[in-house]
Amino acid sequence: MKDIGLPITVINLVSYLKSMASVVCMGRLGRLELAGGALAVGFTNVTGYSVLAGLAMGMEPICSQAFGSGNLPLASRALRRTILMLLLVSLPIAMLWINIRPIMHVVRQDPDVARVAASYCRFALPDLVANSLLQPLRVYFRCKGTPCPIMWCMSLAVALHVPLTILLSSAIGVPGVAIATCLTNFNTLLFLLACVAFTPAAEEAVYEPIPSSPIRSATKPLSEWASLIRLALPSCLAVCLEWWWYELMTVAAGYLRNPHVSLATAAIVIQTTSLMYTLPTTLSTSVSARVGNELGAGRPRRAQTATAVAMGLAVAGSCISLLWATLGREAWGRIFTGDREVLQLTKAVLPVIGLCELANCPQTTGCGVLRGSAQPSVGAAINLYAFYLVGAPVALALAFWMNLGFVGLCLGLLAAQVACALSVVHVIRSMDWEREALKAVNLVGSGSQRFTIDEDEGAVALLKDKQAAAGLKV
């Protein structure tokens, strides 16, 4: 967990610094540029980046279990197919970004703000191609247990991002920020390509399942595509449902009694949650890789142990986040603003956000367990009911009916996180780990001549040769 988690932590922090540098540079251009740029960033996150990141997670259970079983060609095929799928999905997303200006007019946004946002989106279009390549590669490397190349390449690219963003934003304004972001992602890909090209390849045993019949051989690509899409769609839905909730909360803040104060506080809260989300994201991706590797290798008890360790770390980390959000709330708020009203509201809501983290860290980590065991649809269903059937009604009732304002919106988020955490923990406690290991054989096959689930791990011995494993019957 440490070997995977520490590089992923660096990757998440570097990504946070990249986005923060872009926002700071837009803020230095002026109020209009910051408003338009922030609108564009929110629009591209909701309609583009969240979709691509969610779809890329569909390959996570396939790759992690394939690496665990030794079925390396399957992992490579999943990578190529995911890249192709993301490139195809980028086409309608690009059309949406091109037409952002009429969309903003329909929802009655300020014309000048919409113009700046449209300019940002137009120059950010190449970033769809970069993310279609980069997101699957990030999943591939962490499932393989070697996220360090991505870490070093992203760190170097972001080190160049800061001066590049300052230079381009000063020269051409908001479009320069979008161009700098695109160039940074393409630089990451170039550095990664150079890293792979000049690093000697390790000799690894490659296993290719033997097809049981010519008919099965002919239908195999279709079945693998079906498995990938079946996992990608709920993974995407799970990511988008949670991501969109935060955006909806920001929109709702604009309809409160004092919208300027509420929206400014919402911006600080989103920056705070983004930073605190680093730990649960790290644990989620790490445990997903570990659980998938162990299930693919036929070691269900080790997968269960990895889950217990990750959930324990999640509880400990969430307690630290609560203390930080409570004790350091005033100092943290002053980093972003000196406005007295905004600071007062920020001090009131940050302890609630800390309580949210008590539930968010375990539930996000638990969703990683569900992805590693190829159950993203369960996570999507939990997010749907927790955020939209529990959290949204509570937030709207407290904010508008009970007149609690932005604090009510945050309490609605707390209700959603608690419902989500309780549901995820219940599902994980009910999991039959031996059955999950057998399901992994169906998904990725067995990477050794005889696949064995040891009796000392509490499971029934299962012996399958390569041909039977490829037959996808247990």
Q: Which of 40-49, 181-190, 363-372 has the lowest mean pLDDT?
A: 40-49
Q: What is the pLDDT of residue 444?
A: 72
Closest by alpha carbon to 135, among 235, 45, 20, 54? 54
Per-residue pLDDT band for 446 (boundaries 50, 70, 90) equals low
In 10 A of CB 429, how many CB atoms? 9
Q: How far is CA 210 from CA 78, 81, 213, 214, 222, in A?
A: 18, 21, 9, 11, 16
Mean pLDDT across the stretch 437-456?
59
Closest by alpha carbon to 367, among 431, 294, 260, 281? 281
Range with the largest mean pLDDT of 6-10, 29-33, 248-252: 6-10
Phi-psi region of 454 (alpha: psi -120 to 50; beta: other; left: phi over 0): beta
To the question of pTM greater than 0.85 for the whole model, the response is no
Per-residue pLDDT band for 42 (boundaries 50, 70, 90) equals confident
* Residue 265 · residue 64 · CB < 8 Å: no
Q: What is the pLDDT of residues 83-119, one digit of tens each?
A: 999 999 999 999 989 988 888 777 776 777 788 888 8
Q: What is the pLDDT of residues 188-227, one digit of tens each?
A: 999 988 887 777 655 443 333 333 333 343 346 777 788 8
Mean pLDDT across the stretch 269-293?
84
d(CA 470, CA 474): 10
* Residue 139 · residue 57 · CB < 8 Å: yes
- Alpha carbons within 13 angstroms on the beta-carbon side of residue 387 total 22
Mean predicted lDDT score pLDDT of the chain: 80
* Residue 163 · residue 133 · CB < 8 Å: no
Residue 443 confidence (pLDDT) above 80 = no
Mean pLDDT across the stretch 276-296?
86
